Every structure is written in structure tokens, then in C-alpha cells.
Structure 1
Amino acid sequence: MRLPRPAVVALLLLLAGGALAAPAPARARGRARDLPVPAGKGESKLVDVIPPAQLARQMEAIIEEDNPGVKLPRARGQQAQPTEAGVAYTCTYDYVSCTASEILRPSSTAELAAAVADLAKRAAAEGRPLKLRASHSEFGSTAPFPCPSGPAGADGKPPLLAAVNMDRMTRVLSVDKGSAQVRVQAQMGVRDLAAAAKAAGLATPRFTLPWWAELTLGGVLATTAHGSGFKVTHQLCDYLLNVTWVDASGGTHTHARGSDELRAMCGGVGVLGVMTELALQLTPPTNTRISTRHLVSDANLAADIEELLKVSPHLIITWRPDLGLYTAHLQLAAPDNATVITGARACLLPSPQAPLSTVLGPSLRLWQGDPWNNNPLTFAIEKVACLTAREISGAATWAEVVKGGKTQRLLEGVVPTNDVTSVDCKQDCAWVSPELDAAVQDVHFGIEKARLAEYVSDVKALIQKDLWGTPGAFKEKRCLPSGWLVMRFGAPTDRLLAMGAGLKEPMFAQNLMLGSRSTPGLPSRYEWVQEAWEQMLLCKYDGRPHFGKLAPRYGDGFAKMAQLQARHDPLRVFEPEMFRRAAAGESYALTPGCALRRECYCAADEHCAAGFVCAPSLALPQFKVCKPAKIN
């Protein structure tokens, strides 16, 4: 099992580096710079999607051309794993499994309060520390904070590890249409909030929710997961009116906006207690104008972003620096007289279906499983990777329309806001599909937008020097795995541990790439570029990591959180080990293979996978990364 690098990375890596000169634009094949301001009635513009079967045939033809008579092995899919005794819930990416000796399954605040009170009394009677965490059956984190964990008591007695499975707490509790307010249980999903808003004749605020519909509202709040809105509403915490929660003794509390407790709970990963009910301020029903700058050259990316933010604060950039291309996804208030498209849905997240997934799955496994290029098939799959990068990742749009069995990407048009809130890919999500057998390598930081141009320059240098400058086949033709570097934007906040805490103009930089689950003992393809990127964001840019993906360093936020813990949870029942280590500033341990497990950044070869060496980044030599000892 491979875990992400823990919280202490963010607390201890305090290196600094100078800005790098911008490299020449890389393989840009998009349009010239073209950034008109959307106008008119919201006229529609749609483009056809290459059918999955056609794209799969193109990929197979590339492989056949270089390797006549050779066929890819069949996709083997995810292998059924025996259920481990005591497992309470598992990360949807299979990185982390949480174990517990007790599992609570409440359906209401009262049920949970009574169950927690009983656990607290039992643990005290047995003289054992109680550790309690809340999550659900398949949580969306790559970090282990959802797991109950902690040391033995002073007399050596093991802790009582208990989990709260919140899967039954998904109901709408009340709706006040006149004030556009709803009260819901905290386990409600992002998908269900949009549906509930629509059913009530209301809408969620535009571009404020994370883009995966399977996430839960409690998890979104606890990690300050977000949409995009520069200096405006951009996350669920922005319209949270009050929260009801249960403390470690079984006591029930309700705290409103402006309270220290609510400021701590937004981004506090549940260290005060379990959120059970949420009051949210929605809006009257709205329509949204989708506007897309599709596959544009990144030659002027930083300047383009500044111009696009003048068009709309609700902007997401999906960037393929290895292709020299980006796509800008804007959302705006729609004109009152606009023609509204029905049948639209959000589609940005990768969700390749068969037969495409049955080609991509084996290709990804072989490509990632041969970082030294020993297999002749690897050379052909390198070409497939670049085709995939462009047609699946680079060409992706925020929304699509399906009519008469035909799917078209929506570049311009007006749609009901609730219909395009988040991507509801279900079993077709890339990290769920058994044929693709992939996982997401997802790392996410908040930095100052004032450093946007410097950041773009540094990323281009990483591609030019670390991806293409490393000796071996393909060099300047190499492509990163499917996915993107993503940029979203936020507003200043007073929340203690939010991603934007302490930032004047938050910009959220994300590295989201696919990797195969089926190559144990090896990192994802070209992961050394991501390792350098991570360290650059943490140390050079003083990045605030997403607590669901890495853990943060947030000034005095930890000190203020400790005061609230002393008030509400003096025994630290809800504090996971990951949070304790982050708050204490403890160092990570350098052990054999720790970089492979994403528990450290390497300092010596032994920290890397077998056949890899620990070497300075070519673009940012102050940071060390694990690279294949030799690439053919």
C-alpha cells in the first residue's frame, strides 16, 4: 500500500530557490491567442467527440505499426481482494484502508450522540484511550487522516479504535424556499445537493463545489475542497450558515458563521468532532453561461489568465505543459433571454469507456511497468500516451450534451446551473473502471496568485529540463500520463486551516495524473517530474497543501486549533496521528523505499524503488527526485 507523503514534509522542507527563465513554448499545436469577451445571448457551440471505439483503433494501429503481429494483453481489471478483518472503510483510490474495532452506523445526530457517549464511558471504564474518526465506505482522500489511530495508554493498554460510518446520514432535513436555505445531513453527496436544490426550486452557487460528485458535504467542508471563484464565493464553506456536531463525550452543539468553532471546522479535518447537520444558503434557480477557450497555446499563459479573470472570476485552467496547450473553462451568469440547453452534464474528469478503456488499461500498465524502456512495446505506447494526453485530457471540456446517442462537447452555451455542478461519472470514473485499473496521483496546493508568472515559468522549466532533458529514448517527445496541471482561484479567508489561509489572492495549483494500480514496486511514469513539482510548491512557493491530499503548514492556525481542541476534546479523541505529527512539526523518517511509498522525498538511492537513483532535479537542483538509473 502506497501512502502520500505525510504532513511533516510541508512543515520541514523549507528550502528556497530563485526564479528560472521561461523556456521556449513546447510543441504548441493549439490556436493562436484568442481571448474574446463572451457577449450576446449565449449562442451555443458544440464539437463532436471522437468515438471511443475509433480512438481505441487509432491506438492499436500505432502499436501494430511499430510491433507487427504483437497485440496488447487483455485488460485484467482490478483483482478482488480478501476483506481484511476489522477494515471499516477504504480510500476509493485503494491507497489507504482504515481499521477499527468498533463501527458506528448512525442515521441521526441523536443516535450518534448516544453511541459516542456509550463508547466514551466504556473506554474510561476499561482504562483505554478512545480514538474516533468519521468517514464513509469509500472516502475520496489519498491521505490517512480519516483513519482512527493513536498510541497506547500510559499503562500500555491499546486504544479503542472506533469509526463512524456516516453512509446513513444523507437526508434533506428542511427547506425554506423563501430564504433559499436548506438543512441537510452532513453525509449528503455533492451530487445529491445539486439534485435537492433543483427539486426545491433553488440552485447551488455557481462553480463553488468540487468537480467530483461522489464527494460528501462533510468531507468537502472538513478539507475545504473547492470550486473556483477569484475574490468571490468559491467553496461550500462560503455559504455554510451553521453546523451541528457531536463532541467526544456525546454532547451536541450548533455553531453559526463567525464562530471560532465553525472557522475551525472548515478545513479542520474533523479534529473537534463529527459534523452531522449543515444549514446552507443557496440561491434562487439560475442558469450558467459555459464559455471555453479550447486547446490554446500556452506561450502567453500567465498573461492570458489575467485577462480571463477579468471576464469571469469563475475560471479553471487545465494545462498540458508537455503539449504546450491549455484549456480555459469559464462560467458566467447567463443573460435573461438566453436559450437554455437541456440534457447537459459536467464531464471534465476522465472516464474512458470500453473499448477505449480495454486498450488504455494494459497500455498504462506496460508503460508504467517499464521505466527503463526494456520492452519494445514501450516505445509504441509512448506515442499512445501523447495521443491520450491530447484527445482525452487536453481536449476535455467542462460539459457535454448527449442527444440521440451522440455526445458533443459543449464549448459555448447556457445550461441550468444545477446540471453542471460536478462530474457524476460513477463506474466510468478512471479510478473506478476495472478495465482501466488506474488510480489518481492527486496533489494540490494553495499559493499566491501574485507568483503566477513565476510558477508558469518554473513548470515549463521542469518539462524542458526534467522531462525532456533526462537522457534516453523519446526525450523531447515524452508526454506525462493522462491528466493535467490545474489552476483554480479563491478568496482570502479567516478559516484556521483552509487551503487559502494566510493568502492575499489564493491560487490553487493541482497536479492530477493517472497511474496504473498494477505495477507494485514502481512509481508512476515520469513521477520524478511530479516529485520536483511538489517540492517546488511546498518550499519555493510556501504552498498550503490540501489536507485530503497532503497536509498543511498554516501559520498560527494550528495554535488556535489546539486551543479549541483543549476546550472541546481535551483527550484528543478525534485527533488522527497525521494531524498530531503535523501540529508537532515532527520529521518524516528516511527509510528504504520511503519515496516509493510517498512517505518522504529521497536523500539517498535506498529511499527510491529498486533500479532508481536519488538525483537532483535538472531544473531545480535544490530538490532531489527518484529517477531510473538508466533509460534506454
Structure 2
Amino acid sequence: MVPFFSRELVQQGLMPGELTSINKEAVTNIGSPELEQGSAIATDLHPLGESGEMGTRHFKIMLPWLLLAVFSISIASGEAAYDSKLTGSEALTEKDDAHTLYGSTGFIKCTSHELVEPVSTQEISVLLQKLNADGRPFKVRATRRGRHTPNRFPCPGKGGSAKSPTGENFGKNHVDDTTYSVTILLHLMNRLVAVDHGQHRLTVEAGMTLQDLAGATVRNGMSVPVGVLSVYGNLTVGGVISASAHGTGAGVDSSLGDIVVGLKWVNGKGDVITSEMEDEKGLQEIRALVGGLGALGVITEVTFQLLPPGALVQVETWQGDDSNLAADIRHQLDSSTPHIIFFWRPDLGSYKSVHLKPLKTGDVPIHPYHPNGRSALVVAAPEEVAEAMNVHMRDYTLDFDDSGPESDVLNAQGCALSDSVMNIPIFLEGDVILENATIPSSYAMLSEECEPNCIWDHSYFGGTEEDVEFTIKLSDVDDWVKDVKSVIKAEEEERQRLLDRRYGVGKVKLCLNPGFFWFRFGRGSKNLLATTTGHVEPVVYFMSVFHVSSYVTDLPPKMDHISEVLEQLALCKYKARPHYGMSSDRVFTHPNCHVRDNFPEENIVKLLNLRDEHDPRKVFESELLMRMLERRGPVYGNKCSLHHQCYCSDDSHCADGYKCLPSVSYPEYKVCKVRFSKQSGKVNVKEEL
């Protein structure tokens, strides 16, 4: 279990990896695949589970969360002083109102003159026709409350950071009076429209959540293909399709967009259009709308091609050290299943992979059947865990230069917490942890609703998740893994030397924030703006998910400059395409490496031609979409890097106490790095090293 980290343990030189024991036993259960001895694949790679228990562990779901809570201790020195200074970010303290919407993850808000809640396609059509008839400039974007988009793509009017306390954020916070802005909230358009049992097709409204889509599918005698659903069940169908969101499947269907066969939508003129894959015009429109960021119109209904009832999938949880990670990725995709998720912590030298193996008719499962088994990647967390993480992340972030009186304990806690997060169970049936099991395919990727106790909820956790994702070619995975390892090693080395000098070599280990890197997989597509477009070979979706404090508003997350390096490396060296719903503004407005140039130019031309036809007034073009398509750089401003609005080119773009410097690993990319010691206010950490 996760140890209670005290100064005594740290001074003994005990590392978190030596003390944790959850899922660390190398045991093989009945039916687990054999690995070739002497291969380049890690020899301790294995599926988890004990043979006597047939791959299940009968622990209450509370147990893993309680293990996380054990690590919490009071930081005696300075805690009261910290509390008295912290007011929390605007995203933490403010709520949605008649003009402002806050995202549920990250620190972004959108403002508009009007929020509308239509219940039908016709209402949206009438609204757009009326706005056009009024003659004044206007902008429209469709979204939902609690959106999971850490950028300004959903903003019809002004948008900006919500990281600092109210009134102190970078960017304008008022509604722009020159252009009338309307936000369409689609949550009331969540109905089942039509069922075609003969062809196994469902038509649903775009405001339906993935959770409700899976339920409607099962109730109507069909199944969702494994790997096409995103992990979080409260995302909406329309948002997932427009943002090119996905599950996992190397070279096979890996997103809802891959199983779309028809769309109903409203264009910028208010016309209601039905597009079907069976005719050429409809096909071209669907290719522009799937992954198209709503640039042509508002999707209101979607028809999906589903599977017959009773589709099952075998799930297995594997783990190994990361010494041969790229080889392990290829080997497992080739020998096991295309539907795999890898969770990776290079700073801890380990990974865990989740295999989802679809069963064909006549296949005999080798793992026990659990009819109510499902993904548990996202679950509600107990209050004691939320409080523990809140306190730790607050104090850990405030000790930004490792000069505080509890730096050793805070770093040890951070590593222990990170190690524990890697061991949270992936599949559940009620309160039973499933490591190797057979479950319905409709719920193999999809987690239950966790609101209002999700790990990214500002008000509950006092923190949130900061995400970023890029799509790269599978053939680049070897080089990418090497680059990520080398960047982290080089960028951590500076700070690690400081800790070694202060506490003794090897006494205190430095780790990234709690969270992990993900690898998921997909296939190429012909959808114009989808991140998979134009690829013939399978693709890799590489995502980072790390927890940050909502209370510390004037400092970036610890080691945030590593993210800055990796993002620029992905954009510039790998020509990667960022996920529209999982990446911040700065990714889409890089001054030199333009996202538009990472897509086939003919796709952009086709999209703009269709926009001229369907949205000649560009009413659906948000400011961020305009900046991306026109290759405009960021809007620089004071501390814009702190707010993830820019990559720094000047010290003023960084937080106080930070300096804009070339990164150690890739000097061509500038990042904000620690400048002064908190104790003296004068010591330059770079010079000290």
C-alpha cells in the first residue's frame, strides 16, 4: 500500500517504488498469453490477476482511493501562511451565469451575449435565420455546460483564461459589443430519434451523452463496437464527433466518427441538411463535419452503424518496465489486439497496458464472464482523497523551486501518489476489481458518471486535470519514446542535482505531477480536419494527463516546462496534430510551427470551399479557429505562458520567479523555467547548478 511518507523514511533513502506493493507481483493467471523468452520484450511483462481468483479481486472500490489518501500528511511549516494568501482561481470560485461558461477541466471561460437551450433542430434553424435577417455581425458556437475543452474553440465571443482570481486573468473578460455572440447549449436535445433493427443502426440527437448512447444501444438489441467510445461517459455525441475524439484501435475503427453513416445539421444560413454516406455529396459533407470543429454548422442528429446484440470483449491488464516500451507496444499490437491503452510513467520507469480483445461468434472466452463489468478509468473519488490531493498539490506547487522546509517530504509524497495513481483498477463489476475478464463491448471503454466528484472538478478536488494530446504515425513511436525519455531526463536533471546537493545524492527523487502519459491507437481517415486524416498506416494518440492545483494561481504546475518542450517537439519535429478537445490555446497558435501546415493543404481548401457554400458569413468561426486556419501566432501578453495562451519569447510572458530560457534538451524551444530561490529571492537556480 502507499506508505505514510515521513521525514524519517525519506532520510533513510527509501523510494516510493520500493515501498508500494499494489499490482507489483509477477503472477500469471489461467489463460494468460505466453511470451517468448529471450526476446527484446520486457521479460516481466504479464497480465495481472491470481490464478486462484480467475483474474478478479474482491476489494471494495473504496480501497484504491483510500490507499491514495494514506499518503496525506500535514505540512506543518508555512501551511497557515499559504492558506492566508490563496484565494483560488476564477474557475474554482465562480459559476456559470447568463453570459459566462467555465470548462470543467483546465482554466478556460467563454463569454457570449446569449445562451440558448433549443429542444429541436427546427429551433436552431429559426434562430440562425433570425440572426441572419437582423443584419448585424454575429457568431454562434454549440457546446454544453461543463465542457471538457481546455481552449477557446467553443467560444463564440470572447474567451480567455480563468486561472487567476477573478479580474486578474490574461486576455479580455468582457463580451465584445461589436459582434453579437450566441452559445447554443445542446443538453436538451438528447433523445433517441430512430431505430433500424435490420441494419443495426441508431439515430440519436447530438446532445445525448455517450453513457445514454450505450444504454440506448443495449436496450434496442445492439452493441457498440469495442474501442470507438471515449472514456468519459458524460461527453456528448455531437462534441465527440466534431472534436475527433476517440477510443483505441490500431488500424481499425477507433472513434465514433468511424461508425457515422448519417448526419442532420444546420448550416450558417439556417438551412437544415441531411447528409448520408450513400451519396457523394453527403459523403463529402460528413467528411467535413466529422472532426470539423463545427466550422460548417451545428450537428443535431447522428446515425451510427452498430453491431448485433451480445458483443463481448475480453479485457486484460498488463504491466512492465519501460526499458523496451516501443518494442512492447508493437509486439502487443501485433500479437494480442489492436485495442490497447498504455499508461506510462517514464520518470518511474514503468507502464501498464489494457488489452480489449473482441470475441467473434463461436469464440470460447478464457476469462470469466461478468455481465455488468465495465471500464473504471473514471470514477467518483471519496472526499478524503479529494482533500488529501488538494493539500498536497497546493503545497507541492507552492514549493516551486524546492527551497521550502518540507521539499524532501513533498517530493516523496508526489512520487508515492504518482505510483499509486498508476495502480488504480481499470475494470470493475460493482465493487469487484476485474483484471482479466469477459465483459460487454458497449461498456468496455466507457466509465460511469463521476460528477460532481470527478478528479478534474475544481470545487471538489481543489484542482483539475491539464491535458494535451497529439496524433503521430505509429512508425514514429520508437523515436518519440526516445525523445520523451531524453527530454524528461535532461529537464529533470537540473532540479535533481539541486535536491541531491541539498539532501544527499539519491535521497530525494523528483517526479512529475500525479497522472500519466497515454498511448491509444487509431486508423487513418479521409475526414478533412480529423487528426487521423491522410494517414495510411495506423496512428498513435499520445496524451498527457496531469493533476494541477486550482488554489495556486500565480505559478505554473511544477515541471511544466517539460510539457512546453514536448508540445513544441510534437508540433515542430513530428508534425503532429493536436486533439481539439484536449489541448490548450498555445498549441494551436505556435508562431513558427503552424497546426494548419500539419494537415494536407488540399483538405483545408476543400473545407474552406464548403464553408463558403454553407457559412459565407463565417458565423461558426471562433477566434481560435480563425487563428489556426490563418496561421496567426498567439496574442502575447503579461504572463501569457502561465495561462497556456503562448509559448514564451520574453521573460514577461512567464510567472514571477521564472525566466524565458532555451530548454536544455532542445535549445531551439524556449520555455519558462525557475529563476529565483524562494528563500533568498536572489539566487538564480540556473547559475546555482
Query: Do they superpose with TM above 0.5?
Result: yes
Query: Could you tell me which residue of structure 1 aligns to residue 545 of structure 2?
Result: 512
Match of 1:10?
none
Question: 1:74-106 CA deviation, whole Å, 9 max, x = no partner?
Answer: 999998745576425321126222222233221
TM-score (norm 2): 0.80
Cα 1:293–1:83 shift into 2, 3 Å = closer
Name which structure has the greater RCO, CA cutoff 8 Å, separation 6+: 1
Is 1:362 the counterpart of 2:378? The answer is: no
- Is 1:472 the counterpart of 2:498? The answer is yes
Match of 1:459 in 2: 484
Structure 1 partner of 2:377: 348
SS in 2 for 1:426: coil
Counterpart of 1:445 (choices 458, 463, 470) is 470
Report the residue type matching 1:509 in the other structure. F
Amino acid corresponding to residue 121 of structure 2 in structure 1: T
1:400 aligns with 2:428: yes
Gap change, CA 1:264 and 1:150, over 3 Å in 2: farther
Alignment pair present for 1:578 and 2:590: no
Q: Does the Cα contact within 8 Å between 1:72 and 1:363 map onto a contact in 2?
A: no
Q: Deviations over 1:539-585 (max 9, x none)?
A: 11111011223444223122221101101111111111111111111
> Is residue 462–residue 551 contact of structure 2 (8 Å, CA) maintained in 1?
yes
Instruction: Describe the SS at the equivalent of 2:494.
Output: coil
Say whether the 8 Å CA contact 2:87–2:551 is kept in structure 1: no
Q: In terms of mean alpha carbon deviation, does 370-379 or 526-535 score higher? A: 370-379
1:616 correspondence with 2:666: no
Query: 1:497 is matched by which residue type in structure 2?
Result: L
User: Does the 8 A contact of 1:104 with 1:115 survive in 2?
Assistant: no
Find the partner of 2:451 among 416, 426, 451: 426
Instruction: Give the partner amino acid of 1:173.
Output: V
Q: Distance in 1 between matches of 2:427 and 2:87?
A: 31
Q: For 1:509, what is the secondary structure of its paired residue?
A: strand
- Please tell me whether residue 290 in structure 1 is matched to residue 319 in structure 2: no
Amino acid at match of 1:488: R
| Alpha-carbon distance, 1:359 to partner | 1.1
TM-superposed deviation, 1:346? 1.5
| Residue identity opposite 1:465 in structure 2 | A
Q: 1:148 is aligned with what amino acid?
A: P
Q: Distance in 2 between matches of 1:453 and 1:85?
A: 47
Match of 1:264 in 2: 288
User: 2:123 is matched with which residue: 98, 102, 111?
Assistant: 111
Change (3 A) 1:308 1:53: closer
2:634 corresponds, among 572, 588, 605, to: 588
Q: For residue 472 of structure 1, what is the amino acid of its counterpart?
A: L
What's the C-alpha RMSD, in Å, of the aligned pairs? 3.1
Instruction: Identify the match of residue 419 of structure 2 among 387, 390, 409.
Output: 390
The 1:50/1:132 distance shift into structure 2, 3 A limit, reads closer
What one-letter code is carried by the residue in structure 1 that aligns with 2:113? S
- Matched to 1:494, the amino acid is K
Give the paired residue count: 589
Gaps in structure 1 of 5+ consecutive residues: 1-25
Q: CA deviation at 1:515?
A: 0.5
Q: Partner amino acid for 1:566?
A: D
Q: CA deviation at 1:513?
A: 0.7
CA–CA distance in 2 between the matches of 1:69 and 1:586? Answer: 43
Residue 165 (str. 1) matches residue 200 (str. 2): no
Compared CA separation, residues 367 and 36, structure 1 to 2 (3 A): closer
2:528 to 496, 501, 505: 496
Q: Structure 1 residue 71: deviation in Å?
A: 13
Quote how far apart the aligned CAs of 1:53 are: 7.1
> Residue 323 of structure 2: SS of its match in structure 1?
helix
Residue type at the aligned position of 2:600: G
Question: 1:111-150 maps to which residues of 2 (within 5 A)?
Answer: 111-121=123-133, 123-124=134-135, 128-149=136-157
- Work out the CA distance in 2 between the residues paired with 1:595 and 1:631: 20
Deviations 1:581-614 (A, max 9, x none): 1111112243331211111111222211000112
Q: Deviations over 1:111-147 (max 9, x none)?
A: 22122212221x31xxx11211111122110111111
| One-letter identity of the residue aligned with 1:443 | V
Secondary structure at 1:427 match in 2:
coil
- Could you tell which deviates more after superposition, 191-200 or 416-425? 416-425
Q: TM-score, normalised by structure 1?
A: 0.87
Are residues 631 and 401 of structure 1, via their aligned partners in 2, closer, same or farther at CA, if it must alter by over 3 Å? farther
What's the secondary structure of 1:271's corresponding residue? coil
Contact 1:89–1:98 under 8 Å retained in 2: yes
Query: Does the 8 Å contact 2:261/2:276 carry over to 1?
Result: yes
Distance in structure 1 (CA, Å) of the matches to 2:439 and 2:97: 47
2:209 to 186, 189, 194: 189
Are residue 33 (structure 1) and residue 62 (structure 2) matched? no
Tell me if the contact between 1:103 and 1:163 (Cα under 8 Å) persists in the aligned partners.
yes
Task: Measure how far apart 1:342 and its partner are.
Answer: 3.4
Q: Kindly indicate whether the alpha-carbon contact (under 8 Å) linking 1:78 and 1:437 is maintained by their aligned counterparts in 2.
A: no
Q: Which amino acid aligns with 1:342?
A: P
Displacement, 1:375?
Answer: 2.9
Q: 1:568 to 1:415 in 2, by over 3 A?
A: same
2:268–2:616 Cα contact (<8 Å) kept? no
1:73 shift after superposition:
7.5
1:305 maps to 2:329: yes
Give me the identity figure in percent: 28
Alpha carbons of structure 1 residues 82 and 603: separation in structure 2 relative to 1, 3 Å: closer
